[in-house]
Amino acid sequence: MFCRSHHMILNKKQLILHVLRARSIARRYLITNGFDGSLTILGMVTGFYASGMTELSVAISACLGAVVALFISGLSSAYLSEKAEREKELHELEQALLVDLKESDYGQASRYLPILVALVNGFAPLLLSLIILLPLFFAEQLHALPSSPFINAIVVALICIFSLGVFLGKISKTFWLWSGLRTLIIAIVVGSPTIGWSLLE
């Protein structure tokens, strides 16, 4: 009886650690892949603006192609890597306890949590990229905006990247403004050479 209760307590502790670890990994994926996706679309939009692109439909199609690629890549890579890691941990725990844990809470978490992490990794760049592209969508539908839709998209991208930095600062318990400014500086470094080169031509 004691061994059974001890095993249940140990299993619950392992489950809690498993969930907490998965939340931490999901947060990292949210920031890293969201940051990568935002920078990718920022670079593309900046390039279109610097080249004098006027065909919004072409720019939108190109950006959506990149967005879909980021989504599928993030979804599949995170799922495959996390699934392999969880199966390895489950197998090692089963060997240590000499029991089959596939139907336990821990075993079920090992199957479901990679899906959760993969969804975060895939949807983070997808949603942020679509938000950045909103000015292009609006401009294509309304056919008139007070300023360049590419400039508007660049501003939205900088806001999104700054917000990711603020979120990162909250997680690391550092000064949120400095954390946001660091990511913003990186974004400006990405876009400024393209615009600067176009002005020199």
What per-residue confidence (pLDDT) applies to 81? Answer: 86
Residue 5 counted as domain residue: no
What confidence tens digit (pLDDT) does each residue in 25-45 have? 778 888 888 999 999 999 999
Residue 200 counted as domain residue: no
What per-residue confidence (pLDDT) applies to 1? Answer: 47
With a CB cutoff of 8 Å and minimum separation 6, the contacts of 104 are 11
Residue 2 counted as domain residue: no
3-state secondary structure the chain: CHHHHHHHHHHHHHHHHHHHHHHHHHHHHHHHHHHHHHHHHHHHHHHHHHCCCCCHHHHHHHHHHHHHHHHHHHHHHHHHHHHHHHHHHHHHHHHHHCCCCCCCHHHHHHHHHHHHHHHHHHHHHHHHHHHHCHHHHHHHHHCCCCCCHHHHHHHHHHHHHHHHHHHHHHHHCCCHHHHHHHHHHHHHHHHHHHHHHHHHC
Residue 13 counted as domain residue: no
d(CA 176, CA 160): 14
What residue numbers bound the domain in which 41 lies? 21-195
Amino acid occupying residue 97: L
What per-residue confidence (pLDDT) applies to 14? Answer: 56
Residue 6 counted as domain residue: no
Q: Which residues of the chain have pLDDT under 70?
A: 1-22, 101-107, 109, 143-147, 191-201
Residue 135, Cβ density class (10 Å: 0-12 exposed, 13-18 middle, ≥19 buried): buried
Amino acid occupying residue 104: S
pTM of the model: 0.79
Residue 105 counted as domain residue: yes
What per-residue confidence (pLDDT) applies to 13? Answer: 55
Residue 4 counted as domain residue: no
What per-residue confidence (pLDDT) applies to 131? Answer: 95
How many independent structural domains does the chain possess?
1
Residue 144 counted as domain residue: yes
